Amino acid sequence: MGWGNIYKRRLKVFTLALVIYLDYKAVQKREKWFSKSKKEALWQRTHERNAKRVLNLMIEMEGLWVKLGQYLSTRADVLPEAYIYLLKQLQDSLPPRPLKEVHQTIEKELGKSINDMFSHFVEAPLATASLAQVHRATLGDGQEVVVKVQHEGIKEVILEDLKNAKSIVDWIAWAEPQYDFNPMIDEWCKEAPNELDFNHEAENTRKVSKNLLVKSEHDDINYVNRVDVLIPEVIQSSERVLILQYMDGIRLNDKASLDEYGVDKQKLVEEITRAYAHQIYVDGFFNGDPHPGNFLVSKEPPHRPILLDFGLTKLISSSMKQALAKMFLACAEGDHVALLAAFTEMGLKLRLDMPEQAMDIASVFFRNSTPASEALENVKSLADQREKNMKFIQEKMKLNKKEVQHFNPVDAFPGDAVIFIRVVNLLRGLSSTLDVRIVYLDIMKPFAESTLLGSIRTKPALNSQWIYDSPIHSDVEAKLRQLLVELGNEKILGIQVCAYKDGKVIIDTAAGMLGKYDPRPVQPDTLFPVFSATKGITAGMVHWLVDKGKLKFDETIANIWPEFNASKKDMIKVHHVLNHSSGLHNTMSDVMRSNPLLICDWEESLHRIAQSAPETEPGSQQLYHYLSFGWLCGGVIEHASGKKFQEVLEEAFIHPLNIEGELYIGIPPGVESRLAALTLDTEDLQNLLEINRRPEMPSSLQEGNLAEMASAVPVLFNTLNIRRAVIPAANGHCSARALARYYAALANGGSTPPPHSLVSKPLLGSHAHVPTFPSFKQSKKKLRTKEIDNPDTPSKKTDGLRRRGCSNSNSPNNNKGSNIVDINIDDDAQKSVKRIFSSPKIHDAFMGLGDYSDMVIADGKFGLGFRRFNTAAGNLMSFGHSGVGGSTGFCNIEHNFSIAVTVNKMSLGGATRSIIQLICSELNIPVPEDFSRFGEKGPDMQLNLSL
Q: Which residues are within 8 A (CB) of 387 and not within 5 positions of it... i.e. 6 or more apart?
A: none
User: How much of the chain, in percent, has pLDDT values that exceed 70?
Assistant: 82
CA distances from 385 to 79, 359, 381 (A): 18, 12, 6
Highest mean pLDDT among 218-227, 360-369, 545-554, 560-569: 545-554
pLDDT at residue 435 tops 50: yes
Q: Which of 388-402, 525-539, 862-876 has the lowest mean pLDDT?
A: 388-402
Residue 2 has a pLDDT of 57
Sign, Cα dihedral of 13, 14, 15, 21: positive
pLDDT band of residue 832 (cuts 50, 70, 90) is: low
Helix axes 355-365, 415-433, angle to 10 degrees: 50
Check residue 793 and give its pLDDT: 36
How far, in Å, CA of 725 to CA of 597, rounded? 10
Residue 826 pLDDT > 50: no
Q: Within 10 Å of residue 361's Cβ, how many Cβ atoms?
A: 17
The whole-number average pLDDT for the span 902-919 is 92
Alpha-carbon dihedral 517, 520, 522, 528, rounded to 10 degrees: -40
* Phi, psi torsion values for 547, nearest 5 degrees: -65, -30
**Peptide bond preceding 596: is omega within 30 degrees of 0, i.e. cis?**
no
* 220 flagged as catalytic: no
Instruction: Work out the average pLDDT over 467-485.
Output: 95
pLDDT grade for 253, boundaries at 50, 70 and 90: confident
Q: Give DSSP secondary structure letters for 625-678.
A: -TTHHHHHHHHHHHHHHSS-HHHHHIIIIIHHHT-TTSEEESPPTT-GGGBPPP
* Cross-strand bridge partners of residue 127: 134
Cα–Cα distance for residue pair 334/363, rounded to 1 Å: 9
Name 597's Cβ contacts closer than 8 Å, sequence gap at least 6: 719, 721, 722
Q: What is the pLDDT of residues 719-769, one digit of tens each?
A: 999 999 999 999 999 999 999 999 999 999 999 999 999 999 999 999 999
Mean pLDDT of 850-870: 94
Under the banding of pLDDT at 50, 70 and 90, the label for residue 777 is low
CB 152 within 8 A of CB 105: yes
Among 532, 538, 539, smallest CA distance to 887 is for 532
Q: 3-state DSSP call for residue 364?
A: helix
Considering 289, 335, 416, 547, which one is annotated as catalytic? 289
pLDDT tens digits, residue range 306-316? 999 998 898 99
CA distance 672 to 417: 20
